[in-house]
Amino acid sequence: MQIALSTLIDVVQATSHTLTDRADLETPIATRITTDSRELQAGDVFVALRGETFDGHRFAAGAIAAGAVVAIVDHPLEPTANDEPLPQLVVENTLAAYQAIARWWRETLGTTTIGITGSVGKTTTKELIAAVLSRDGLVLKTQKNYNNEIGVPKTLLDLTPDHKYAVVEMAMRGEGQIAELARIARPDIGVIVNVGTAHIGLLGSREAIARAKCELLAELPETSTAILNADNALLMSTAATVWSGATVTYGFEAGDLRGQVTGDQLTVSDPIAQTLPLPLPGQHNASNYLAAIAVASVLGLDLTELAQGIRVDLPDGRAKRVALTNDIVLLDETYNAGLESMLAAIDLLAATPGTRRIAVLGTMKELGDQTLEFHRQVGQAVADRGFDAVLIVAEPDAAAAMTAAINPAVIPCVVETEETDAARSRVTDAMLQPGDRVLLKASHSVALDQIVAALVDRLGLA
């Protein structure tokens, strides 16, 4: 992480902890703070984090030997075998210290920061916002899945004075986690794209999920602006209980910024009043694009250039169209799945022109008591769209719930247990025909991405 600390005194002041000094606080340091000894460079500060399955303290001595000027630890480390003292700063909690340094660095630079959360679409919205803002200046954005209590500070510590914007994704798996991330990032703009059912098995209800997402608003500085999806009634009602500051809303049915999708075009209402090409297909992605346009509007950016279109490169498994030979197109949505994203993907397949439409669907995880009902809704959606064939790769109960609404006399339906090899053998070039459009969607652990890779390998890209 590139960070302009000049001496260890800066680290001490940033953490706001009482530190036990076994290092020379006047020692000049380089420009990096790292938690991974494998990536360490001479002059770095090494932070020894703890987790359920790892303990960075085991690598502290090695980090010092490799050139780290100091290790931030949660207990005094003994000298090495040659009695050389280890330069170390002892804190109560190394993760809290790491987060405090990241917050200090973000506030020191004053970079305009946008925080994003929501049940589905966070990553896509992050990428869309970054693409729009990149027309105005250098943007730092969350990479990979660095969207938790370790990933958010890692992201912020990559900020440099050259960055004009930081677009920070915030994920959660329980109460209090979004609040923790918001306190670290201190967003100037907080975006909540929706409240859905992801992690309902952990939190118990949509209402609990809404409260958890709106922790972002509860932690926003008073001078910040909230951007909310007005089409999501539960989000709007929950947000009103914790936030009364500046707010811009967007949506198709309600909101300050209204959108209407016609084909591959998005018409945006006043004050934007433009028709723009959609960078990604589907109504759900058009909603995410509206959020990005709202961010740019709040920042006062010139939006006329958006009429030329923007390019968005999403990670594999998210809104990917894979064109194979013989005019076969895969809609690769294999990264993850919840009820809302599954239904959106089904709608996308239904709206995609082609000779036949085939759905390859798998289990949605972490749904708790709602598992069977949500899978039943997916099966009903498939039946309502009248696809040409369905392959279900799911646990037995989930598969039974999905197939209950599908009449095999109308829609040929094949079920496999979650054995990717068996499922992969079903989706062969013999099964497919020229002009087919094939959706692949499931939770990540179902590994439908292996079917995508196998088809690419066998058929080749167009």
Paired tokens of 52: 């359920």
For 249-300, the pLDDT digits (tens) are 999 999 999 999 999 999 999 888 899 999 999 999 999 999 999 999 999 9
Mean pLDDT lowest among 4-8, 254-258, 382-386: 4-8
- Each domain of the chain, given as residue ranges in start order, spans 8-92, 110-308, 320-459
For 96-113, the pLDDT digits (tens) are 989 988 898 898 889 999
Q: Measure the N-to-C terminal CA separation of the chain; round to a whole number of Å.
A: 39
For residue 459, the tally of other CB atoms under 10 A from its CB is 17
For residue 172, CA distances in Å to 179, 193, 206, 287, 298 come to 10, 14, 14, 21, 26
Paired tokens of 442: 């499931």
- Whether the ω angle into residue 271 lies within 30 degrees of 0, i.e. cis, is yes
Region of 460 on the Ramachandran plot (φ > 0 left; ψ -120 to 50 alpha; else beta): left
Q: In what order do the strands lie in the sheet with 45-47?
A: 20-21, 88-90, 70-73, 45-47, 33-34
CB-based contacts of 250-257 (< 8 A; 24+ apart in sequence): 250/287, 250/290, 250/291, 250/293, 250/294, 251/287, 251/290, 252/283, 252/286, 252/287, 254/230, 255/229, 255/230, 255/231, 256/230, 256/294, 257/290, 257/293, 257/294, 257/297
- For 8-92, which CATH superfamily applies? MurE/MurF, N-terminal domain (3.40.1390.10)
Paired tokens of 158: 């990559």
Q: Residue 284 is which amino acid?
A: H
Given a cut of 80, is residue 390 above it in pLDDT? yes
| CB 320 within 8 Å of CB 314 | yes
For 196-233, the pLDDT digits (tens) are 988 888 888 999 999 999 999 999 999 999 999 999 99
Is the pTM for the entire model greater than 0.85? Answer: yes
Phi, psi of 153 (to 5 degrees): -60, -35
Q: Residue 152 is which amino acid?
A: V
Given a cut of 60, is residue 461 above it in pLDDT? yes
Mean pLDDT value of segment 183-194: 98
CATH of domain 320-459: 3.90.190.20
Given a cut of 70, is residue 322 above it in pLDDT? yes
Given a cut of 80, is residue 421 above it in pLDDT? no
Given a cut of 50, is residue 56 above it in pLDDT? yes
Q: Residue 86 gets which letter from DSSP?
A: P
At 18, the pLDDT band (50, 70, 90 cuts) reads: very low
Fold of 110-308: UDP-N-acetylmuramoyl-L-alanine:D-glutamate ligase (3.40.1190)
The yes-or-no answer to whether 8-92 and 320-459 have a common fold is no
Q: What SS3 class is residue 138? A: coil
At 13, the pLDDT band (50, 70, 90 cuts) reads: low
